Chains A and B, each alone.
Chain A
Amino acid sequence: MMKRKLHIIIILVSIALVLLSVTLLDKKSITKNTLSYITTQENFVAGKPIAIEFKGSFENKPQLYIIHSFGRTLLDGILKKDIIQFNLPKNYYNKTSLVSWFLIENNDEKAKGNFQIIPNDETKTNLESYLGPPSTLVGDGHFTMFVTIPTDNFDNPKFTNTEVAIKHQFLNTIATDNEKTKDFIAWKNIYAPTKSGGVLISASCNEAITKEFDAVIYPSIATDFTIAYKRNHEFADGNQITRLTTSILKDKFGNTVSDGTMVTFIIKNKENVLLKTFGTTIEGIATGQILHPEKENSYIVKAYVNGISKSNSIQINYKSINPTIAYSFSKDNRTISVGPIKSFMNQIVPDGIKVTLRIYHNDTLVETIIEDSNRGKATFYLSPEFYKEKKYSFEIETLGKTIKKAEKNVSNK
C-alpha cells in the first residue's frame, strides 16, 4: 500500500518537475534569444550552392536580406526544427562578390554579417579582351592598348595577380610579356614601332587563348619633299598638259605616307595669280596636271601638304607658239575668215582655240565675238540686219597675238 503511495508521489512530483522544467525552459527562451549563426565558412567558391543556416527558435519566419554585386534581394528560409536555412539563388552564387547579409524578423534586424564568393579556379578559364584604338600612328609614343580580363567559367574575374601572357608580333619580332591582373584586368600598352604596318596581338591565360587582334600602324605626317614636271613640249598652245609629280613623300621615320594624302600644287604665273592643281599620293607620289597656257607665261610651282609640309619651288616656262594668222575679208567685207592659224611647226592648231574678233565703229567697241577654231579656221559673219553702219574696224586676237585691221567699208547690199 505504502509502495503504491510512494509511486503515486514520485509520479506526481516528476510530473510537477516536468511541468516546472517546461515552464522554466519556456521562460528562459523568451528572455534570452538563442539564435546563432551556424555557417562557419567565410569564403565560398562561385558556382557552388551556398546555404546560410541559423539556429534558434523562430516565432515569425525571418527573412534574409542580402546585398550582392548582382543586386539586393530578400530570401525566404526553409525552417527545419530549430534551424533555418537560406539558399542563395543560382545567379547569385555563380557570381563573385562580397555578400552582406541581414537577418530580419518582424522588420527588426536580428543579425548581420558578410562572406565572400571567390572565383572558381577549377573551371575553364576564359579571356575577355579588347584592343583599342584599332589603328594608330608610328612612333612618337603612340600606342594601342590591349586589355584582357581572365575569368572563370562563370564570367567572374580571376584573382588579382593572375598571370596573362600578352604576345605581339611586328615584322620579324614576336614579343611576349607576362602581365598580372590588377583590379581584374591585365593590360599592356603596345607602343607603335617607327615603321608602319600591322601589329598582331594575342594573349593567353592558363589554357585559354584569345583570337588574333590586329592594329594598323599608319605612317606619320609627311616631311618636306621635292617636285618635278614633265611635258610634251614647251609651247603655250592652251591644249597640252604638264604633269607635276612629287618625290616619294615620307614621314620623319622614312615611311612612305598613306595612300591618298592630298598634295596641293600652287602655281604662280607671271601676273602673280595663283592657280592650283591637286594630287593624291599613290605609293607616296602625288601627280597633278595643269593645262598649258594659251599665251607665253612663266609658272613657279610649289606643292604643299596643308599645314604639314612643302616642296621646293620650280619654274616652268612656256614659249609663245608665235602663230601665223592668215585672214581674209569677203567682197562685201561682211564675212571675215581667220585662218588657217598655224602653230610652231607650221601645223594647224588643234580645234577649240579661242579666236576673238572685236568690232569697232568710230573707235568704240561695238561687239566682241569669240569663236572657237575649227580645223584652224574661224569665220565671222556680220549680218546686215544687225550691223547697219557703213564702216567698221576690226581687231583679231588669238594665242596671245593681236592683229589690228583698219577701217573697212561694209557693203549693205
Chain B
Amino acid sequence: MKETSNKYLIVALLFGLTFHGSAIFFTIENTYDALIHMFFGNHYANSWFEPWNYSWYTGFTVMGYPPLVHQAIGILSYIGGLKFGMFTVAIIGIILFVTGSFRYAVLITGNRTVAGYASIVAIISSSFVETLHIFGQLPSIIGVSVLMHAMPEIYLYIKTGKWKYFFTSLSLIAVTVCSHHVTPLFGMVFFISPLIGMVIMDVSRERVNSNKEITFIIFFKSFLSLFKRIVLFCGSAVFLIVFCILPYWINSKANPITQVPIPHGSRDNFLEVTSSGLMFFLIPWGILLFILPYIFYRYYSKRYIFFGLSITLLTILGTGGTTPIPLKLLGETAFNILTLDRFTLWASIMSLPIFGEFVYRLVEGDLKTAIQTKFGTVYHRVLGGLFAGCFLLFAVFTITLGYFRPLQPAKINFLPIVNFLNQDQHDQWRFLPLGFGDQMAFLSTQTKAMTVDGNYHSARRLPELTTRAVERLENSKFRGIEGIGSLQQFLTVPEKYNLKYVFSNDKFYDPILYFCGWHRLTQLENGIMVWEKLNVQPLSKILPKDEVSIVLKLMWGIIPLLTVLIAFILNIQMIWFQALKIKVLDKPAFLNHGVAYTGFKSWMIKLLHIWTVFVLIIFGIGIYFIYIKNATQISPENVVKSYYDALDFKYYEKAYSYVIPDKEYPLSQFMLEISVSDGILNSYGKLDAIETTITNNSKNKARIIAKTKWITPLEIIEKTYTHEVEKIKGKWYIVPEKKDTDLPPDEFIATNINSYYKQGRRKISTQQTYHDDILRQPDLEITKANLIYFDKKYMIIGEVQNIDNVPADVVLKATLYDEKDKTLATHNAKYVIKHKLMPKETTSFKVNFEDIAWLKPDDVKPTNFNPDEFTDKYFENKPVTFDIQSAGNVAISDLYTSVALADLVISDTELKGTLFNYGIQEVTVPEVLISYYNAKKELIFVDHKFIKEGVRIQRKQYFKYFFLDLTTLKSIKYSTENCFVNGISNEAIARDVIKTRKTNEEEEQLQKVNGKGFSYIKIEMNNYIGNPK
C-alpha cells in the first residue's frame, strides 16, 4: 500500500514554523538562557578548539557544557552573525521537536493520524512554549527532540535486531549527548527503560493471543530472548554518553562544582511560593491538568505500564519542594544541583502521544460519539470549543508572560558601552555590569573586555563567588542581602580583580559604590552610568589559564558536529523515503500494536467530568485565597501592608488611594511630599518584611505599629512606624502623616564652590599617556594609626589627611603581621572612611579584615544576612604589628562638604544631633563617622552610622547615635611607623609639607564625653549625593 503524506504533520510543521518562528524574534532575547548559549556560540566562533574563555569570571572552561548547540550557533554565525545562528538553531529545534513528537507518538500509539494530532498539540503545548519562549533552553529542546527521534529506532533495533537500527539509534543518541548531557542521562531512566519494557511487552504479546494472557513468565522469557540486544544497546549508549563528551566528564572530575546551591524556583514549595508554582507546575502542565486521569489511565494499561511508572515518577519529581519526596528520591546533592522543572517538562512531553490520542478521540473518534450520544452534539461542540480555547489561552498566556511581566530589564542598547570599552584602552581592565539581567551575556559577545561576573555559575572558580548562593553579581539585589555581601567584596578590593569600571543600570547600587570609594565617570547615551575606581592596575598581558591536552581539545571540537554528520548520513535515507514516498517502506513493527479506538469508557467520561470540576474548585479556592490575601482594605493590617507594598513598588497613586480621601489633601500634594523625601530608605530601600500589630483597636479606629525591615545596598534597616487608621464605609484608610513644615530661610541661594576638572590625555593619541599628562599623586599623611582588638575582631583604625593642594581620592590598604613578620591578612578600608578629601581635609578610617564568607564547609551560614556583617578572618597567629599602604590620586568629584553639625545634645549613653545642609546639593545618604578617643586623646575606635533620611538644601535632619562600650577594647599598637603614602614613607612626605604638626590644635576640636572606655569623641560627615546637579 502506498502511504499518503500525513497532513496533520504537515499542518503542524507549517503552523509550528510560522507561530514559533515569528514569535522567537520577540521573545528569545528576553529569555533566561538563550543569550548565554549565544555567548558560548560566540566563543566557538572565535576559538573553536580552545576551550578556555577569559571573558567571564577570571577565566573558565567551556568544557563545562556540551558543545553541540553552541558550536552550531558558532558555525552558523559565520553566515549571518550570532543572532542569525541562534535563531536558525531555534528554528531547527522547532522542526526537530514537531517531527520528533510525531515519531514518538507513532511509536507509542501505533496510529499515524493520532500521531498527527499529537504533533499539532505539541506545537502549542504550554511546556514547550515555556521552555522555548521563557527559558530559552535550546540545548534542552534539541536534546529531548532528538531523543524522541531516537526512540522508534531503539524500539526497532531491540525488536528486530537489525543492525541498521542499531546504528541509526546510536547515532541519534550521540547527537542528544552532545547537545545536552542531562537529557540522555535521565532519558535512559525515564524514556529508554520504559521503552525497552514496552518492546518486551510487545514481543510477549506476539507470543500469545491477547494482552490478558501475558504473564510474568512470558514477559521474562521475552526479556531473556531480547537480553543480548538490550545489553548491547544500553552498553553502547552508555559508552557514547561517556565518550562523546569525554572532555566534559574529565573537566567535571578535575573541577568539581564547588558552587553552593543557588536557590531555584523549581525547588520551592509551590503552595507557598505561588509564582514558582505558576512557572514550574501550572504552566508546563497547562491543559494537561484537566485530562491527567486519562493520561494515567492510558499509561497504566499493560503495554505502557513502564511509561506509567516513569511518568508518575517524573510528575512527583516535578513538584519540587512541595512534597518531601523529590528531596528523598534524589538525595540532597542532586536535588540542589538539578533544576526540577525539567522533570515536569519531560512528563508533559511524555504525555503528548496520549494527549494527541485524547484529542483525536474527542474530535473524530469514539469519545465524540460517546459524548454526542450521551449529552448531545451541542454539548460536544461547546466542550470541544472550551477545551480548544483553554488550550490556546494557555499557550498565548505563556508566550506573552514576558510581555506583561517583564522577566528582564528593558532591552539595553550596548553600542555606547562597547564604544566606551574600546575607547582609551578601557578594555585593559575588567568591568562589572549591574542590573543588566541576562543581557550581560550579549554584552560579552560584543567586546573583548572581561568581566568578573558571568552567567554560567557552574563554571565559577573564585571562592568569593562559589561560596555564595548568588546567580550573578549583576542582579545581587534579588538574592537579598547575601548577594550584596558578595558584591561588596568585589567593590572593596577591586584591585585584586583588576576591576575598574562598573556599568550601572540600576540606581539601587549607587550608594554601595560611593561608600566603597567609587565615583561616577559619565552617563552614556543609553542611560547607563559608568562608575570608576582609581588606583587599579590594568590586567597583565598574559593571563593564567588551565591547559587541557590537545586530544581532548580535538575531541571537543570535532566529535559533536561529526555526530550530527553521521546521524544525518545514516538517517537521511529513511527521512528521504518517508517524506517523498519514493519507496514503499516496511511497516514499522510498532504499528501493529495500536489499540482500536472503539467505545470510550463511559466511566472515564464521568471521571474526567468529576476531575475537571475538582480542578476548577481547586483553582477557585486558590484564586479566592489570593484575593483575600491581597484585598487591600478589609482590615487595618491589610491597609497598612498594602500601603507599604505600594510605596515599595513606587505605585504612588495606589498608595494614595489607601489614604483617607480628603479634598484638602489631593494626589498632587501626596506626590509632592513623596518627591521631596529622599534618603537611603526612600530612594534605595527594598521592603523585605513587614510585621503589624494593632494597638488601641476600636470599631472604626485603630493604631497600627508597623515594624518594617528594609534591604538597602548598605545595610538592613529596621524601622517602626505608627499609623492611625480609620474605617470609612466599610473600608479601612490610613490617616496621612504630617509632613515637615520647616521652611528654609532663603528662597534664592547664590554660592561659590570649588570645582575641578582633569584633562587626562591632552593629546589625541592611542599612545600610552604622555608623561606630562600624568598628575602627581597627591600627598597624604596618616596622622594616627592603631591596631586594636575589640569585639573579638582585630581592626586597624586611624586618621588620614590630604596634605596636598589638590583634592585626593584615598585608597587605604592595611596588612596585619604576626611576630615573625608573616602576613596574616590584608584588606581595604570600606565604609568607614571618606574616600574623597579636599585639600587639608581629614578623615578617620577603620579597616576590618574580612574573609571570603563561609569558605569552610562547616561554617554556619547566617539565616539573616546583614550587609554590614562579614566573616572575620581567622588568624592562626596573633597579629602584633601592621602596615598601611595608602595611595592618593587626584579626585574631581564627590567633594561635598557643606553639611554642618548644627546642634548636638550629649548624654553619657547617646548623642542626638542635627545636621544642616547649607550648600546647594541635596544629600541623599549622610554618613556620620564617630571617632572615640581615650583620656590621653589617643584615637581608639572609629564607628559609622548611615542616617536613614537625606538632608535637603537649607534643611535640618535629626539623628541619634548610641555610644559603644569600649571598656574591653585593647589597643595593641598605636604607631604610624609602618605607614606609607604612594609608596614613600609617611613621615618623609608629611614633614616635607608640614614641618611641625600642631597636634594640640587638633586635640582642641575633640568633644569631651563621659563615656565607657573613652573620654572624647569626634564627629565627621560623609555626604553621598544621589543626583549631583
Q: Which residues of A contact B (CB under 8 A)?
A: 130-131, 133-135, 137, 142, 213, 218-222, 239-241, 257-262, 264, 266, 271-278, 280, 282, 288-291, 293, 302, 304-310, 350-352, 371-374, 383, 385-386
- With A219-B805, A282-B752: A307-B994 Cβ-Cβ less than 8 Å: yes
Contacts of B997 in A (CB 8 A): 307-308
Interchain Cβ contacts under 8 Å between A and B, 12 examples? A134-B775, A262-B841, A264-B1005, A266-B1005, A274-B1007, A275-B901, A278-B897, A288-B918, A307-B801, A352-B740, A372-B741, A383-B701
B900 touches A260 (CB 8 A): no
Identify which of A240, A272, A306 gathers the most chain B CB atoms within 10 Å of its CB.
Answer: A306
- Which one, A135, A275, A282, A291, contacts B776 given CB within 8 A? A135
Q: 1/0 contact trace for B988-1023 toward A, CB 8 Å?
A: 000011100111011011111000000000010000
Which stretch from B490-498, B667-675, B872-880, B903-911 is at the chain A interface? B903-911
Q: How far is the CA of A293 from the CA of B956 in the complex (A)?
A: 12
Contacts of A221 in B (CB 8 A): 803, 840, 993-994
Name A264's closest neighbour in chain B (CB-CB). Answer: B1005
B766: interface (CB < 8 Å): no
Q: How far is the CA of A55 from the CA of B230 in the complex (A)?
A: 88
A262 touches B900 (CB 8 A): no
- Which one, A266, A280, A290, A308, contacts B902 given CB within 8 A? A290
B839 touches A262 (CB 8 A): yes
A310 touches B1001 (CB 8 A): yes
Q: How far is the CA of A276 from the CA of B901 in the complex (A)?
A: 5
Contacts of A307 in B (CB 8 A): 783, 801, 842, 994, 997-999, 1001-1002
B956 touches A304 (CB 8 A): no
- Which one, B701, B776, B999, B1019, contacts A134 given CB within 8 A? B776
B696: interface (CB < 8 Å): yes
- With A266-B1005, A280-B754, A352-B742: A309-B903 Cβ-Cβ less than 8 Å: no
A230 to chain B, nearest CB (A): 13
Q: How far is the CA of A260 from the CA of B802 in the complex (A)?
A: 11
B998 touches A266 (CB 8 A): no
Contacts of A350 in B (CB 8 A): 743, 745
Contacts of B956 in A (CB 8 A): 291
- With A261-B839, A307-B1002, A352-B740: A282-B696 Cβ-Cβ less than 8 Å: no
B859: interface (CB < 8 Å): no
Q: How far is the CA of A213 from the CA of B752 in the complex (A)?
A: 32
Name A282's closest neighbour in chain B (CB-CB). Answer: B752
A291 touches B752 (CB 8 A): no
A193 to chain B, nearest CB (A): 16
B792: interface (CB < 8 Å): no
Q: Which of B90-143 contact A (CB under 8 A)?
A: none
B405: interface (CB < 8 Å): no
B41: interface (CB < 8 Å): no
B698: interface (CB < 8 Å): yes
Name A378's closest neighbour in chain B (CB-CB). Answer: B741
Name B999's closest neighbour in chain A (CB-CB). Answer: A307
B174: interface (CB < 8 Å): no
Contacts of A373 in B (CB 8 A): 741
Name A213's closest neighbour in chain B (CB-CB). Answer: B772
Contacts of B772 in A (CB 8 A): 131, 134, 213
Name B838's closest neighbour in chain A (CB-CB). Answer: A262
A386 touches B841 (CB 8 A): no
Q: Which of B687-719 contact A (CB under 8 A)?
A: 696, 698, 701, 703
A88 to chain B, nearest CB (A): 32
Q: How far is the CA of A24 from the CA of B480 in the complex (A)?
A: 102
B834 to chain A, nearest CB (A): 11
A277 touches B743 (CB 8 A): no
Number of B residues contacting the other chain (C-beta, 8 Å)? 63
Q: 1/0 contact trace for B173-200 toward A, CB 8 Å?
A: 0000000000000000000000000000
Known: A260-B756, A304-B1001, A351-B743. 6 other contacts (CB 8 A): A221-B803, A261-B805, A278-B897, A282-B753, A289-B900, A291-B902
Contacts of A289 in B (CB 8 A): 898, 900, 916, 918
- Which one, A306, A352, A372, contacts B801 given CB within 8 A? A306
Contacts of B66 in A (CB 8 A): none
Contacts of B903 in A (CB 8 A): 275, 291, 293
B897 touches A258 (CB 8 A): no
B840 touches A305 (CB 8 A): yes
Name B752's closest neighbour in chain A (CB-CB). Answer: A282
Q: How far is the CA of A309 from the CA of B1004 in the complex (A)?
A: 12
Contacts of B741 in A (CB 8 A): 351-352, 372-374
Name B899's closest neighbour in chain A (CB-CB). Answer: A278
Q: How far is the CA of A134 from the CA of B753 in the complex (A)?
A: 26
B776 touches A385 (CB 8 A): no
- With A133-B776, A282-B754, A350-B743: A308-B998 Cβ-Cβ less than 8 Å: yes
Q: How far is the CA of A241 from the CA of B917 in the complex (A)?
A: 11
B901 touches A261 (CB 8 A): no
B750 to chain A, nearest CB (A): 12
- Which one, B904, B992, B998, contacts A274 given CB within 8 A? B904
B301 to chain A, nearest CB (A): 70
B806: interface (CB < 8 Å): yes
Q: How far is the CA of A282 from the CA of B806 in the complex (A)?
A: 13
- Which one, A222, A280, A304, A352, contacts B1005 given CB within 8 A? A304
Contacts of A271 in B (CB 8 A): 905
Q: How far is the CA of A341 from the CA of B866 in the complex (A)?
A: 47
B743 touches A272 (CB 8 A): no
Contacts of B746 in A (CB 8 A): 241
B454: interface (CB < 8 Å): no
Contacts of A351 in B (CB 8 A): 741-743
Contacts of B775 in A (CB 8 A): 134
Name A218's closest neighbour in chain B (CB-CB). Answer: B805
B605 to chain A, nearest CB (A): 62
- With A258-B806, A290-B902: A385-B998 Cβ-Cβ less than 8 Å: no
- With A351-B743, A352-B740: A260-B994 Cβ-Cβ less than 8 Å: no
B918 touches A260 (CB 8 A): no
B629: interface (CB < 8 Å): no
Q: How far is the CA of A288 from the CA of B956 in the complex (A)?
A: 16
Contacts of B898 in A (CB 8 A): 278, 289
B407 to chain A, nearest CB (A): 45
Identify which of A213, A221, A257, A351 gathers the most chain B CB atoms within 10 Å of its CB.
Answer: A221
- Which one, A142, A273, A308, contacts B1007 given CB within 8 A? A273
B1019 touches A276 (CB 8 A): yes
Contacts of A302 in B (CB 8 A): 1004
Name B902's closest neighbour in chain A (CB-CB). Answer: A291
Contacts of A257 in B (CB 8 A): 805
Contacts of B897 in A (CB 8 A): 262, 278, 280
B842 touches A239 (CB 8 A): no
B943 to chain A, nearest CB (A): 18
Contacts of B837 in A (CB 8 A): 262
Contacts of B1008 in A (CB 8 A): 272
Name B700's closest neighbour in chain A (CB-CB). Answer: A385
Contacts of A306 in B (CB 8 A): 801, 840-842, 1001-1002
Identify which of A241, A260, A386 gathers the most chain B CB atoms within 10 Å of its CB.
Answer: A260
Q: How far is the CA of A387 from the CA of B573 in the complex (A)?
A: 92
B738: interface (CB < 8 Å): yes
Contacts of A137 in B (CB 8 A): 805, 993
A329 to chain B, nearest CB (A): 21
A273 touches B905 (CB 8 A): yes
B901 touches A277 (CB 8 A): yes
Q: How far is the CA of A260 from the CA of B469 in the complex (A)?
A: 46
Q: How far is the CA of A372 from the CA of B737 in the complex (A)?
A: 12
Contacts of B895 in A (CB 8 A): 260
Q: How far is the CA of A264 from the CA of B895 in the complex (A)?
A: 15
Contacts of A135 in B (CB 8 A): 776, 805
Q: How far is the CA of A154 from the CA of B1004 in the complex (A)?
A: 64
B839 touches A239 (CB 8 A): no
B839 touches A275 (CB 8 A): no
Q: How far is the CA of A262 from the CA of B918 in the complex (A)?
A: 16
B807: interface (CB < 8 Å): yes
A266 touches B1004 (CB 8 A): yes
Contacts of A274 in B (CB 8 A): 904, 1005-1007
